[in-house]
Amino acid sequence: MNKVLVKGLHSTLKEPLNCILWNTFESDWELNATYQIQFTCYDDQSVGYSLIDSESSIFFDGQEYIVKQCLPDFSGGVETKQVVAIHVYNEVQRIRQYQVKTGTLTYSVSDVLSFYLSGNAMGYSYAVIGNFDKAQLTDLGNESGKDMLSKIISTWPDAVIFPDNKKINVYSLAAFTKNYGARIDYLRDTTEIKLTYDSTNIINQVKVFGKTKDSDDENSDVQEYYFPPHFVTNQDSVNKWGLHQGDDISDERFTDSAAMDKYALTQLTPEPSLTIDATYGETDKPVAGEQRRLEIRKTDYVTNVQVMAYVWYPFDKTQQTQLTLNNTAKTILDYQKNTNNQLNNAIADQKKLSNGVLAARQTASKAFNSRLTGMPVVTTKRMRRDATLPAFTLMVPDDNAEMGLTKGQTFHVTTRTDLVEGLTAFVEGKIPEIPEIPKYTPATPTEDGLMSSADKVKLDKLKIEPLTSIQMKDVVSGSIYQLVIENGEIKVKKGELK
């Protein structure tokens, strides 16, 4: 990870900054606009913390930044500083060219940079990368280095200022664009993509005025131009969006109508602006000017976009990088094509929906005619006691050809016992509980069984007929006698059976 160093305004030594609240550190860049870092640090009694002040230098990622805002804050016994530091190239505004090249002259980008920066005492240099046409400028000079950069951007709208510390690099957009084959796939690489399509600033026609001729008549108020004032129009834009007129463009640099028209066309805004903001899933450093393939599969939107701004949190992996992507003409055309496709798909879906609604109505009508109703069943006392819902005999309210029933005809349905809700519980509740049947074993003279052991003894004494004698007892004396039959004669013998 890159270290962050600080150097005081009049110091020659660089000190490490370890007192930064790392989740507050962010790096912001926007094409030809912003190049800065900002963070909050706390007082750790270090030399580095004490060096942080306005005009101090902060070194990060190989670049130098100048502190422009340093806001101390005292809260809860802790001192902190909120710091905003801009890229050192912005200090070129401290360079001023007091000389003036009078008149309307033709310049290249290098000519302008050389006129302002050659021999400067602050160590600024420059380079031009890419191809630029020459352009006419009037009375160049008596301005600051910041004015120089603004003049370059306004004169050559395709120019990109991307410095390397105090080296002012001016790229053509084509040279600045880098394609490494990377892509941004919605839901895979980014959790959110926001497309802002704004037609507020469309301008497709302006009236142009070139250089005026000097008049010999000092009393004349009539201005004479090198070419007549006229309208410059982007007809394709007018055909597509209607006429949107802008403010007049008057430029004393131009004495040639064709050159004036060419310049005026670059000042038009023929298409609505399209801003694409993406919350990028990765936390690696974005590449300024990198071209990537953007794909939103849900809407079949595919186009090539370029990173034109970013907010990067290099020391906090929990904060996702914010990317702003370009609004080139091709990106806008891809967006319009995708919008038209979505509109056509929506119309087709609407037709399908209409057909579906018609089919649903037909189905609903058929279902209504096939609906069932019923007649309440006369409830008994038991039904009122046990039932939780009313009972009905089913009936068709209209003729039902599928069932072969006529209007008002009742019918019954076939079911199974396992389909009747509550039947099992009801039946089980009606069956009485059967007590357990005891198990008996045969009786013996010594153990009870189906009978007692005493009864078993008595039972064993019984004789099977025909008997040879009957033992009897005298009720008076208690003596025992035997009744026997011998040779057909009944005899009584005293004594028990042997």
- pLDDT tens digit sequence for 105-121: 999 999 999 999 999 99
Q: What is the pLDDT of residue 116?
A: 97
Mean pLDDT computed over 78-82? 95
What is the per-residue pLDDT for 389? Answer: 65
Mean pLDDT of 464-489: 81
Q: What is the pLDDT of residue 222?
A: 77
Asked if the bond preceding 466 is cis, omega within 30° of 0, the reply is yes
First to last CA, the chain: 126
Residue 98 half-sphere exposure, CB side, CA atoms within 13 Å?
Answer: 0
How far is the C-alpha of 471 from the C-alpha of 484, rounded, in Å? 9
Q: 49 CB contacts (<8 Å, ≥6 apart)?
A: 17, 19, 41, 42, 43, 81
Question: Of 374, 307, 296, 379, which Cα lies nearest the Cα of 335?
Answer: 296
Residue 309 near residue 34, CB atoms below 8 Å:
yes
* pLDDT digits 0-9 by tens, 286-325: 899 888 887 777 766 677 788 889 999 999 989 988 888 8
In the predicted structure, residue 1 carries a pLDDT above the cut 60: no
pLDDT of residue 132 exceeding 50, the answer is: yes
204 and 233 in contact (C-beta within 8 Å)? yes
Residues 260/254, Cβ–Cβ less than 8 Å: yes
Q: Nearest to residue 439, comparing CAs of 450, 430, 452?
A: 450
pLDDT at 409: 79
Residue 19 has pLDDT above 70, yes or no: yes
Burial 85-111 (b: 16+ CB within 10 A, else e): bbbbbbbbeebebeeebeebeebebeb
- Mean pLDDT computed over 244-266: 90
